Structure 1
Amino acid sequence: MTTIAPHRPDVPTRPRREWWIPASLLALTLVPVAAGVFRVAELAAGEADARNQRFFDSPLPVVVHVLGACVYTVLGAFQFMPSFRARRPRWHRWSGRVLVPAGLAAALSGLWMAVWYPLPAHDNDALMLSRLVFGSLMVAGLVLGVLAIRRRDVRTHQRWMARAYAVAQGAGTQAIVLGPMVLLVDQPGGNLKAAGMTVAWVVNLAVAEWLVRRSQARSGQSRRRV
């Protein structure tokens, strides 16, 4: 005799449980997206001063960076739901064709600005080096992720794409890390700011590594049960 377990409406399905991931990532983008929109609006209004003159002298990298980062971080948040990817593989592939160019645009324009824009008064070479290292890691992650999926290495593809996205989300975590510093110090010096930004990027990378490895481990266990 077969016993059918009663339906338990109080137990959420896996897709519902997974919504915390994109919801958290979207919340993390609020501050940097708002700051980016404000920066572009500032450029459009033509309100230059000593603090933002470098953006007015060469505005194209700023616009490319803001647009690329907004598309990449917002759309990319939904790539971290395994059940969503499984149910809509075509959406996953086509959105990837948007995400990779957007991510590369954001990363490469960020690298250009780090190298060619004059350093603000409170920044220093340590901060520029941190931006170059993690910006290069984002570019490498996107390229290696694409190469991995072209040879059908899904696990490696997922790991590199997660790392690239973690770097892109650095601005959101940096707002959390540097926010208390701004309240205490008003304007953190270059070394303190560089340390805070680096810590934020490292935290993001650690969380991304944990999430993707956990997802892959669960996927492997499910296949072994079948």
Structure 2
Amino acid sequence: MTTVTAPIRRRPRRDWPIVAGLFLLALVPSLAGGVRVAQLTGGVERTAANARFVDMPAPVLVHIFGAVAFAFLGALQFAPGFRRRHRRWHRVCGRVVAVAGIAVALSGLWMTAFYDLPRGDNDVLSVFRYIFGTVMLLAIVLGFIAIRRRDFHTHKAWMMRAYAIAMGAGTQVFTSLPLLPVNVDDPSYPSWRCVALVAGWLINLAVAEIIIRRSDPRRGR
């Protein structure tokens, strides 16, 4: 007698832990950006710390608004159930997310090139900002090219890498916590700050690569 084994059905993955986690990661830098916008639009007093923003506010405003849109709308793009139920919304929102991401990358590169070096930063950190900003921009372009070819996995992989770099601002809040007791005027502070910020980007990219490899449809072949 032959026994027929019923196929095992996987329970659908819930979206809310993914979206909530990404929202929380984006919350702190978004609030800091909101404070910056309020200061610039409310006529803040010019100081040595904010002179670069007060003198040329447009790039930082583009960066902040682009980053908020990219972070929160992008989080919904990575929710599988929501994406399946709202395919048209996913396509339309994807275009907005891509434009916002390009604005974030380009404005970040512009600020690195033309703003004065902030207190506590060093030239090495500027080099890493150029690297990660350029990689983020290329990732969005490659993601767009992939979706035009209807290569969905490659599209998702590149957009996930771009999102990981952008969300580095959230992870850097945690990697920078050990620096709180260190005085900004300490000669070692810029080096440790560089390590903390680069660690935030690398952690996010490492997590993204793990997810990309696990979701690769060719992995089981």
Paired with 2:210 and 2:182, the residues of 1 have a C-alpha distance of 33
Aligned match of 2:101: 103
After superposition, residues 150-161 of structure 1 pair within 5 angstroms as 150-161=148-159
Aligned match of 2:205: 205
Aligned match of 1:8: none
TM-score, length basis structure 1: 0.87
Give the counterpart letter for 1:19 in structure 2: W
Moved more, 93-102 or 205-214: 205-214
Q: Comparing both structures, which one devotes a greater share of its residues to helix?
A: 1
**One of 49, 52, 55 as aligned partner of 2:50:** 52
**One of 13, 17, 28 as aligned partner of 2:25:** 28
Q: Which runs of 4+ in 1 moved over 4 A?
A: none
Shift of 1:211: 2.0
CA contact (8 A) 1:15 1:84 kept: no
Paired with 2:55 and 2:11, the residues of 1 have a C-alpha distance of 52
CA contact (8 A) 1:126 1:190 kept: no
Paired with 1:169 and 1:23, the residues of 2 have a C-alpha distance of 14
Shift of 1:13: 4.8
Give the counterpart letter for 2:215 in structure 1: S
Shift of 1:220: 7.5
Give the counterpart letter for 2:157 in structure 1: R
Give the counterpart letter for 2:66 in structure 1: G
Paired with 1:86 and 1:68, the residues of 2 have a C-alpha distance of 25
After superposition, residues 166-177 of structure 1 pair within 5 angstroms as 166-177=164-175
The runs of 5 or more residues in structure 1 that have no matched partner are 6-11
Percent identity of the aligned residues? 49
Aligned match of 1:191: 191
The runs of 5 or more residues in structure 2 that have no matched partner are 1-5
User: CA 1:126–1:220 in structure 2 vs 1: closer, same or farther (change >3 Å)?
Assistant: closer
TM-score, length basis structure 2: 0.89
Paired with 2:49 and 2:148, the residues of 1 have a C-alpha distance of 44
Paired with 1:82 and 1:210, the residues of 2 have a C-alpha distance of 17
Paired with 1:157 and 1:76, the residues of 2 have a C-alpha distance of 14
- Count of matched residue positions in the alignment of Structure 1 and Structure 2: 210
Over aligned residues, Cα RMSD in angstroms?
Answer: 2.1
After superposition, residues 1-226 of structure 1 pair within 5 angstroms as 13-16=11-14, 18-47=15-44, 48-182=46-180, 184-187=181-184, 189-217=189-217
CA contact (8 A) 2:183 2:189 kept: no
Give the counterpart letter for 1:20 in structure 2: P
CA contact (8 A) 2:165 2:204 kept: yes
Paired with 1:216 and 1:84, the residues of 2 have a C-alpha distance of 20
Paired with 2:119 and 2:94, the residues of 1 have a C-alpha distance of 38
